[in-house]
């Protein structure tokens, strides 16, 4: 193996300065020395891991401080280095980021508890500086990519955890590429049999689709050139394997019902050009009714923008075509993280935390998460609530004033009431959902408008615990009912109820 060289990291950066180069070189040499006597399970020198984490970070456009923290991320946990050493040698920000991704000591915490408490620590750090989570995701990506060297039971655990926590986190941050890569690297270890099935399905189906796409690609290339478009890019995008698996599961594993295994993507300069291209596309091929989605005029609640359409391309075939601008493409690849890593002119940011307004908008939920997790003492409850309330699939419901309330899929009218205000929750009697009267246990429908009806005399009952899905609402109800959440608590409540 050729010796590692920090130049290979710097080369991936956009316009690195002399200072950036210097910082990264020093971090690399420092980490190399610190891990000198360690090896990975693969037998390679340990530095290969932080080096690859740094490559991933540089590849997604991280700044020099983040990349350096990536190089140093395991030094405090695994070697004799202390945080103050890092702060002295580098700076406070780099030390802060390294601290954020360092797991808690094994002496104080054990097993699952240590693991969950380390996650909590990560979130607290991430609320202060989002770059901490970007480092953790890059770390996780390299770890799942090298799972073949780990014992089988551990492989499965790490892969499942990646699918349940880290990939959804990347998704919530709008880092869709990272999400796809994390999922596809974990998939074979988490569900080996299903993985093989999906690979085989995609292979047969994929071959014929590629042929068709090539033909359409050539037609588009000519048409756009004829219409004087310059600087456009057309490429194929093949659906990520895990995401294809999820879709197959929703469609009885019937591959023929899925027409977006691969899609053509047209990337142009401006938003206006997106609509011009859409016109051209629909002029050549007949659009499939109901499949045109204008996420430019109506962005997805997580900010995603693009036009999606599906067209008939002859012989009963349907092809999905996505049209977007370069800015939208960049956003789709790197998401919220890109706002935090770059300023408006595309230059890497140096200020810790990045653009405050964007941060507030994109990752408001992180702050909610921090506030709320303070109340939860039990590690197992935290992990459960994290999965159900925060990183589960989300739906978006509107208040009558048009404010958006984000909730986990499966949430009910009562969850919505509590999400608005605990007082409204406590006195809710029913609601109007898109004008129709519904009961408190009715499941919310995405993008509906919900108006809660309250009555002063109404108050929570034990039954309400079955109505709600979010941990947040459950906690409120339990607090009001004065029960602690376990059986003795419920018993206490019943006793109280009957002796009143």
Per CB under 5 A, 139 contacts Mn ion: yes
**Stretch in the footprint of Mn ion (CB under 5 A) among 3-11, 132-140, 393-401, 439-447:** 132-140
CB of 74 to Mn ion, least distance (A): 5
> Residue of minimal CB distance from Mn ion?
139
d(CA 130, CA 367): 11
- Which CB atom, from 46 or from 390, has the smaller least distance to Mn ion? 46
Give how many residues touch Mn ion by CB under 5 A: 2
- Which CB atom, from 74 or from 260, has the smaller least distance to Mn ion? 74
Tokens of 126: 């991430």
- Which CB atom, from 137 or from 248, has the smaller least distance to Mn ion? 137
Q: Report the candidate in 221, 318, 348, 356 with the shortest Cα–Cα distance to residue 277.
A: 221
d(CA 169, CA 390): 9
Q: One symbol per residue from 23 to 62: x for binding Mn ion (CB under 5 A), - otherwise; what is it?
A: ----------------------------------------
* Residue that is written with structure tokens 């580098």 in the block: 90
H runs (alpha helix) in 256-313: 271-284
- Which CB atom, from 74 or from 331, has the smaller least distance to Mn ion? 74
Contact 217, 234 (CB under 8 A): yes
Residues pairing with 322 in the sheet: 265, 308
- Which CB atom, from 144 or from 267, has the smaller least distance to Mn ion? 144
CB of 75 to Mn ion, least distance (A): 10
From residue 109, alpha-carbon distances to 104, 112, 115, 365 in Å are: 7, 9, 8, 27
d(CA 76, CA 105): 11
Length of the chain: 500
Q: One symbol per residue from 455 to 484: x for binding Mn ion (CB under 5 A), - otherwise; what is it?
A: ------------------------------
CB of 136 to Mn ion, least distance (A): 9
CB of 46 to Mn ion, least distance (A): 9
* Cα-based torsion angle of the residue sequence 315, 317, 318, 324 in order, rounded to the nearest 10 degrees: -80
- Which CB atom, from 100 or from 174, has the smaller least distance to Mn ion? 100
CB of 149 to Mn ion, least distance (A): 14
With a CB cutoff of 8 Å and minimum separation 6, the contacts of 60 are 134, 138, 175, 177, 178, 333, 334, 337, 341
**Stretch in the footprint of Mn ion (CB under 5 A) among 24-32, 135-143, 330-338, 391-399:** 135-143
Q: Looking only at Cα atoms, what is the longest distance across the chain?
A: 84
- Which CB atom, from 78 or from 443, has the smaller least distance to Mn ion? 78
d(CA 137, CA 134): 5
d(CA 156, CA 192): 10
Q: Tell me the angle at which helices 176-190 and 192-226 cross, rounded to the nearest 10 degrees.
A: 150
- Which CB atom, from 47 or from 328, has the smaller least distance to Mn ion? 47
CB of 76 to Mn ion, least distance (A): 11
- Which CB atom, from 74 or from 415, has the smaller least distance to Mn ion? 74
d(CA 108, CA 29): 31
Contact 245, 194 (CB under 8 A): yes
User: CA angle, corner 353, sides to 352 and 359, nearest 5?
Assistant: 160
Q: Which residues are catalytic?
A: 77-78
DSSP state of 166: I
d(CA 121, CA 118): 5
**Stretch in the footprint of Mn ion (CB under 5 A) among 104-112, 131-139, 154-162, 320-328:** 131-139
Beta-carbon-side half-sphere exposure of residue 478 (alpha carbons within 13 Å): 17
**Stretch in the footprint of Mn ion (CB under 5 A) among 63-71, 137-145, 149-157, 482-490:** 137-145
H runs (alpha helix) in 175-308: 176-190, 192-226, 241-250, 271-284
CB of 108 to Mn ion, least distance (A): 20
Q: One symbol per residue from 63 to 102: x for binding Mn ion (CB under 5 A), - otherwise; what is it?
A: -----------x----------------------------
CB of 336 to Mn ion, least distance (A): 23
CB of 140 to Mn ion, least distance (A): 8
Residues of the shown chain interacting with Mn ion in the complex, contacts defined by CB under 5 A: 74, 139
């Amino acid at each position: 193996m050729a010796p590692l060289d920090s130049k290979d990291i710097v080369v991936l950066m956009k316009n690195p300065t002399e200072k950036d180069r210097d910082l990264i070189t020093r971090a690399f040499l420092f980490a190399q020395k610190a891990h000198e006597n360690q090896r990975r399970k693969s037998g390679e020198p340990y530095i290969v891991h932080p080096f690859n984490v740094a490559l991933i970070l540089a590849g997604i456009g991280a700044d020099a401080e983040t990349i350096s923290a990536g190089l140093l991320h395991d030094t405090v946990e695994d070697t004799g280095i202390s945080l103050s050493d890092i702060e002295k040698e580098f700076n406070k920000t780099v030390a802060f980021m390294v601290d954020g991704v360092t797991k808690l000591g094994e002496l104080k915490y054990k097993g699952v508890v240590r693991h969950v408490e380390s996650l909590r620590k990560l979130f607290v750090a991430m609320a202060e500086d989002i770059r901490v989570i970007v480092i953790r995701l890059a770390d996780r990506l390299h770890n799942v990519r090298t799972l073949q060297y780990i014992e089988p039971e551990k492989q499965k655990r790490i892969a499942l955890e990646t699918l349940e926590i880290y990939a959804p986190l990347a998704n919530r941050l709008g880092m869709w590429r990272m999400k796809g890569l994390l999922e596809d690297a974990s998939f074979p270890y988490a569900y080996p049999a299903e993985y093989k099935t999906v690979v085989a399905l995609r292979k047969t189906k994929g071959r014929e689709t590629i042929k068709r796409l090539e033909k359409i690609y050539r037609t588009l290339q000519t048409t756009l050139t004829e219409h004087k478009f310059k600087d456009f890019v057309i490429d194929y995008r093949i659906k990520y394997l895990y995401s294809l698996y999820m879709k197959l599961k929703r469609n009885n594993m019937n591959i023929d019902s899925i027409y977006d295994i691969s899609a053509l993507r047209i990337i142009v300069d401006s938003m206006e050009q997106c609509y011009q291209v859409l016109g051209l596309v629909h002029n050549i091929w007949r659009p499939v009714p109901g499949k045109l989605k204008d996420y430019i005029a109506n962005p997805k609640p997580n900010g995603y923008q693009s036009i999606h359409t599906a067209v008939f391309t002859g012989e009963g075939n349907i092809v999905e075509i996505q049209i977007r601008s370069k800015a939208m493409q960049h956003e789709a690849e790197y998401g919220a993280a890109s706002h935090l890593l770059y300023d408006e002119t595309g230059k890497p940011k140096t200020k810790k935390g990045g653009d405050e307004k964007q941060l507030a908008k994109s990752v408001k939920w992180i702050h909610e998460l921090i506030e709320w997790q303070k109340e939860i003492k039990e590690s197992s409850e935290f992990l459960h609530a994290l999965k159900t309330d925060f990183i589960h699939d989300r739906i978006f419901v509107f208040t009558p004033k048009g404010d958006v309330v984000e909730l986990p899929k499966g949430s009910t009218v009562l969850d919505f009431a509590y999400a608005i205000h605990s007082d409204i929750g406590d006195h809710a009697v029913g609601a109007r959902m898109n004008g129709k009267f519904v009961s408190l246990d009715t499941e919310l429908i995405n993008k509906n408008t919900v108006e809660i009806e309250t009555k002063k005399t109404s108050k929570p009952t034990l039954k309400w615990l079955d109505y709600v899905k979010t941990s947040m609402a459950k906690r409120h109800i339990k607090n009001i009912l004065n029960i602690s959440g376990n059986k003795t608590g419920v018993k206490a409540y019943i006793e109280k109820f009957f002796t009143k």
